[in-house]
A = this chain, B = another copy of it.
Amino acid sequence: MSLPEVSELQVRVNYSETDQMGVVYHARYLVWLDIARTEHLRLSGASYRDLESQGLRLVVSDVSLRYRQPARFDDIIRVRCWVREVATRRVTFGYAVEHAGDGRLLATASTGLVSLDADMRLTSLPDRVRAVLRVVPDPVRLGLTEAPGT
């Protein structure tokens, strides 16, 4: 089976996601990243629903996100997602959020997740999960540490 190195998810911006600036509210991107990560796991052969029912929790421990251009109502958005790093009890995902129509880069992000057991204590990532998490080099420069607009 050929696992995806970089998965792609499409979402259409709905009205609830906009704010009075006429663009997508910034917190909403974190939900798109979550959906993309869940699909990435599914495509890799690890359903998060199954993992959770087996007592594993992958909990977001840190987020870095840079917004580059706004997304608007009814736009179709593509989120590319990949694994940046895997450690014993931690996995880092990278993301590029793009406008599906013209390919413009809207945001880049990285999120760290830690592996917890059903009692919310740190635990090692199960081997079957580590086995499907294929680390790839960032396909786009995330540029998360520079200050934009200065």
Q: Is the interface of A mostly helix, strand, loop or mixed?
A: mixed
Docked pose: A87 CA to B23 CA in angstroms: 24
Decide if A104 is an interface residue (CB 8 Å cutoff): no
Q: Point out residues on A near B: beta carbons under 8 Å.
A: 14-16, 18-23, 25-28, 30-31, 34-35, 38, 47-49, 52, 57, 59-67, 70, 73-74, 87-90, 92, 112, 114-115, 120, 122, 144, 147-150
B26, B48, B63: the one contacting A64 at CB < 8 Å is B63
> Do A62 and B31 touch (CB < 8 A)?
no
- Closest Cβ of chain B to A48, distance in Å, is 7
> Do A61 and B149 touch (CB < 8 A)?
yes
